[in-house]
Amino acid sequence: MLSYRHGFHAGNSADVLKHWVIERVLSYLTQKDKPCFYGDTHAGAGMYFLNSDIANKTAEYQRGVKKLFGGAAAPLPFSRYLSLLSQCEAEVGADAYPGSPWWAAKILRASDRLNFCELHPQDYPKLEQLFKRDKRVKVFNEDGFIKSVALMPPPEKRGLVVIDPSYEIKSDYEKVVQHIVALHKRFATGTYALWYPVVDAARAAKLEHRFIQAGLKNTQLYELQTELPENGGMYASGMIVVNAPWTLTQDAQKVLPWLSLCLSSSAVKAQGKDAGFRIKTLCDE
């Protein structure tokens, strides 16, 4: 299905969580001199503008990235996210908000390699145009679920694959687990980061249980709740990370309480100190 456009949701609370996790994983991987690989199965347009009609149809960024400023100082593990966001605004414009491919391209080095997949006929040309001069990048107008498996294992033997489908098709909640298992069979040393929305608590719980059943070692869950379920729509979102860097949970223990303070509605905050976030190990080392 190709009705989903990420531009409607750019800069929302889910984007903040997702891009922060991507930044932390890639910052960890680039500590070593060895080259690494980045893959994105549903890359989107790569750059969004918060003053556009599409972004303001929902204006979700007002409850996301725009709420990060003016409150309590950010914890240290969030500082590079903010620095890169400022860099994007300086280079592209004050109303720009970057998608996952931009974050990855800025963090990775000349020796690293990036592959992006995007099927949408309006978003693919924008993505291709954004990276047309970047020799590290290949953009595929192909199904990311299929292409990403074909690209495994990368010759670098190190890297991150981000899986971020729209979940318009409800079977995606089961498909994503099968997909990561298939990727892991070909590239067991890779890190896999799955974004998921929480619209229906039972469906999200089944997703979590499927990962526990899959038994992939060192699988961690990071979830941020910003609204009450009874308000309707997506009230939380999360990242499930397989082969997570050992530093990621330590960083999340500092960042998620702060993000919850910044982004959660007053009703969520009233539920208790830790109501707005979860950090959970789904499978140990």
Peptide bond into 245 cis (omega under 30): no
Active site residue 164: yes
Positive/negative CA dihedral, 268, 60, 277, 250: negative
Catalytic residue among 123, 164, 172, 251: 164
Question: Among 34, 161, 25, which residue's Cα sits nearest to residue 80?
Answer: 25
Backbone φ and ψ of 225, nearest 5°: -105, 130
Question: Among 214, 156, 193, which residue's Cα sits nearest to residue 40?
Answer: 193
Backbone φ and ψ of 131, nearest 5°: -115, 20
Instruction: Using only the alpha carbons of the chain, give its radius of gyration.
Output: 18
d(CA 255, CA 263): 12
Tokens of 217: 């070692």
d(CA 276, CA 224): 6
d(CA 120, CA 43): 10
3-state secondary structure of 282: strand
Strands 47-49, 219-225: pairing kind:
unpaired
Strands 277-283, 219-225: pairing kind:
antiparallel
Tokens of 154: 């990368």
> Catalytic residues, which ones?
164
